[in-house]
Structure 1
Amino acid sequence: MSTYMKKLLTTLLFACSAAVLSSCGGDQVGLSGTADSVLVCKAPETITEDGTACELVIVPCNYPEVANEQGLCVMDIGAWPDGANGITMPEPEYIPKDGEVVLYYALTSGEYTGWGLHAFNEGTCTSWSMFDAPGGETTGTSWGIPIDPVGVDPNFGVYWVLDTTVNKNCGNWIPYNFDAGVQVQFTAIAPLADEIENPTNRFFLLEGLGIVFPHPRTFESLVVPGGSTLICEDPQILNEAGDACIDDPTALETFVPGEATLYLKGSFNEWTTNEEYVFEYSEGVYTMVTSLPASADDYSFKIADDLWSEPTSFGATATEELVVVGEGKTLVVGEDVGQNITMTVSADANYQFIFDATDPELPVLTVIEVPLNRVMYVKGTLNEWSNTQAMVYEGDNIYTSTFVLEATDYEFKVADANWTDDTNFGAAAGDEALELDTTKSLVFGEGVAQNITLTITDAGNYKFTLDATDPSAPILTVNNAAPYGATEMYVKGSMNEWSNLQAMEYLGDNIYSSTYTLDVTAYEFKVADADWTEATNFGAATGEEALELATAKSLVFGEGIAQNMTLDITVPGDYTFTLDATDPAAPVITVTQVLPYGATVMYVKGTMNEWSNAQEMVYEGNNVYSSEYELDAASYEFKVADADWSETTNFGAATGDEALELDIAKSLVFGEGVAQNITLDIATSGTYKFSLDGSDSTAPILTVVLVP
């Protein structure tokens, strides 16, 4: 069918003068006289011959197209006038009996091997008598087990005969070839309610068209005189004029997370683009929830955009089709690569599909069972009532979200993206205020659930926890996300005179940290709040006071129970004290030495050792590394680098400043092509010490001295 639209039958003149702009409502204050302007007409209007106005020139529609109520040309679905365009429409070979409907599907190839019919009762369409009404045990055929055709009509293609109910309304049907993986990409609906829409009890569908005809139609009868009708094979579509097949300009060429709207398409929704199965997107992750009933057969599905664009049709690798609930699966794209994903559902449940595309080339799908049937959000004045941050399902019916909040008053609710009535949770009227660390049972429904109010007195991270054990009355708690709330924690001991001078920094994820510069000596210390409060006065268990570097130690609390920890420092420098308070009553402490280049081993590499990694630099403490070499009287070239000459740890001299003098410090630069070989002239043979001060790890300072 031609997809272009011809113009209306009357001519409309638009009398906006090109010379005087104000006559079109465009007064220009401050201008005097008139201004000549070029008149621009918007398509489909054209400028008149005298150039003073725009006009819409209309031509009549050519049958089989007719004008609709707006005057646009559309395909006529009425009875074919005998002889129209020189065509006499043949009669279909099957005459339906009372209570029967015949469904035809024509292919341009005329090859119907493997084609069958998927028919089902759904929504308002409940006319197929072979199925129970929606909600019954059988609402339609199982995908992959189609209804076989009754025959093939030479003019109208393959056909099926279905019985209808007494009080018929409409029926859903999809022709498809399961083995070939081809189907009509929409649900055809046969209107059966009255004789105007259903005069023949026969319905005709033709390949490539989105129209169900209640009267016989052939491909030949769809040609519009003066135009042309093409049938384009997917993924191509007709151009606007209807005379050429083109690539769909809306199809995606590459997958860019956030730019593509993705859907879950599978056996549970007839593989169609359905808004109930659309993914919600945030920061590289797509999320959606659906309710799936138990099934003896595995469900099949893919993740794709509405057009099944090649870069966004995600499936499973062959032989790895099954996704296990709770386990991640890396997906692939490509018609010949991505297989249908399968999933076993043994009990009715809500399933959350999490498609992590933060690495677009290796996206990972994880499916988990959840208590609520929608993706949930905390939405309020804390985030402009937006859907930007989905709550994370932690398991055991618990959802959480963490927000950085300022000290002020807030209003919010817990709801799905669309404020659906039964997942629009708030406070009961008169009970809107929520106190920190206090549980509140929520109610749902428009006009019932009120905005929850919350006052934050101390800025910080706050965790919103929703317990959905009872999905109709979930329980909400808000508390400071730090394990010890607003209480500041300190490392206090002989390194700081047991003072509160330096609070530990909260890094998130239950981790606190402090770094101290320590000399070579033995230290005693504890971890506690400023006031040595009983429940946050942490130390070692009796007999386990000694702490080894880089070794975790679980702490105990309480006056007389928690003993001072001891720590022997043999290398001076910076040391980080890390407290993991995942269990706030039994936190774990680890002390590690802070090295400028972490675990990376540094080398002096040059003509003195054939540019090799034969001798590691030794860390002396206080950010200083060193190596000693026996050198003969000669000139040398070298650099300081890691074993692999990594870009950021490939240190040399600045261009034009390559020479290094003994006993004189030189600041180094890094990077391939930037850091030049350092030159060193040795006049006297002996042992020479190369010292690298990495206090500034990006611009270390090198000194070479003769060892006495």
Structure 2
Amino acid sequence: MTSGGSTSTTQSLGGYAEDPADIINYVSKHDDETLWDKLQYNLLTDMTLAQRVRAQNIAASLPLMAQGIPFLQMGGDFLRSKSMDRNTYDAGDWFNKVDFTLMDNNWNKGLPLAQDNQGNWSTIAAYMTDPDRAATPDDMQLASAVFDEFLSIRATSPLFRLTTAQDIMDRVGFHNLGENQTKGLIVMSIDDGTGLTDLDSQVDALVVVVNATEQEQSHRILTATGFELHATQAASADVVVHGATFSEGEGDDAGNGSFTVPALSMAVFVKPQMGEQGAGLSAFATAGAPDVVPYGDNVIYVKGSMNGWSNNDPMSYIGGGVYELTLSLNGGETYEFKIADANWGPVANFGSDSGTVTLGDDKVLSYNAGNLSITPAESGDYVFRVNAFDPAAPVLNVKNDNPYPGTTVYLRGDMNGWGTTDAFTFIGGGQYEVVVTLAAGTYQFKVANDGWNTVNFGSNDGALEPGTVDKALEYNAGNLSITITEEADYRFVFNAHNAGQETLSVGKSALFGDTVVYIRGSLNGWGTDDPLLLTSPGTYSVTKSLTAGSYEFKFASEDWSTRNIGAAETANVEVGSALPLAHGANPGNLVIDIAVDGDYQFSLSGFNPDTPTLLVTEVSVP
């Protein structure tokens, strides 16, 4: 079960259950500190008492807005404290007291027991004397009232209690997505409009906006119209949330809408159902929206002293408003350049009057401003990345394509005595690859450099298996582990292209093992004349001479069952574009249109033999 889409959609957040009733949502429980106490460690030190209460109100109420089963700790709705004790099993009523009269939240009753808390006594003592952490009866009453309001909102609409995974996939969407998202903001919608069973006769859609920042935030959603603040919150005991508003788009933006929510607030908006069921708000209004290319069909270039200020180096549009280009630069040499279209305007001619670019730092550009300059310390390939989400003020970032220049990265674990015998090779695109022979067994390991400092990646949820793709890694986290059932060569790829979003993928180097896989289709009578050959770890290729025309084909073993690989989501193959495929009982045929006679290489690559990726490239044209 996922929120806002199956695992094949762009809105997938990762599936981990089949039924909403299998999900227990909580932010605090009987173990560890209460929510109020825990937040004292995590909130900014300069927050006021009022801000801390608002932060708790959001955190305590989040499970009430989520699908699944809320699990609530007693007293969490009115700021209950155990005086920072993280284990009160034997602490008695002194630390476990709950005051239902809302006069005392049990804060500052002395230092908690030494057994589980002594290491934090100095910090706890400082917190206890801070007036901005000592909740008053008024604070407790406000928190309780706000929690009761969210409890009422949940209880009065079945949309917060969906009972099937399919309903969640069809109805629940998220709208603050991608690298351009506003940090600290969650925007969730629940659809009950036409095309869906009418579960709530009072509304056609709901939107929940969680603003965990210290500033008012607004967020625009395509096709959002007709919303208003929930009546319960319009009369809320929290007068701040009265300022949450919805505004309709005007002019060219008509038919869309913006939600504005005060700082440290969670607001629920409703689209009232006026009699018959009307249009709601699609779960895919954002994730399924077409990608709007910021500069349309205009090619954008890096133009500067590295290429004679020419149009020789076009950037590639990679989606989400982002353009990229990799250039080879010499260490110690200063390059001046700009980001421009072919004619230096009027679409793009971007620079900066403070033109020095620092590797890895974002720089906002201005139209028709001065030249940019960069001086790389080392020779190598450098990625120029322009985020034009705001086309009038694009953001440039330049970084070394090798995230760790001069540092050797190793696979270190049980397979090599945690030593440095298995070095990764940098393969470009911020990625490193190593192939190791592993016998059957379970291995713990990490990705690290020789000093365990610059590079030291693991996971606090570290289990992998062959076929795992893009396992999220964390710096200085726990060990990874992999269980191998068959001795073979295994390929590990560490992707550090985006700092803070490092991943690891692993699979057999010979993806299909001993099985011979052929390209079979109208290009060869559906026969077995053209086997794929292992050309590099995880990659198989075959080259075919083709005349212009349309061809249907698949990739399959001789028996059509051990391997039968065809269309996953789409059947149309484009030369030069990667396409995910799927193995199954009888997946659909693939279709490719060849425009020009020539030799074409068909390559399958990946980590899981059931879900390889196809890339067709033009080798030569007569």
Q: TM-score by structure 2 length?
A: 0.33
| Structure of larger gyration radius | 1
Bigger relative contact order (CA 8 A; separation at least 6): 2
Q: Answer 1 or 2: which has greater strand percent.
A: 1
Q: TM-score by structure 1 length?
A: 0.29
Q: Answer 1 or 2: which has greater helix percent.
A: 2
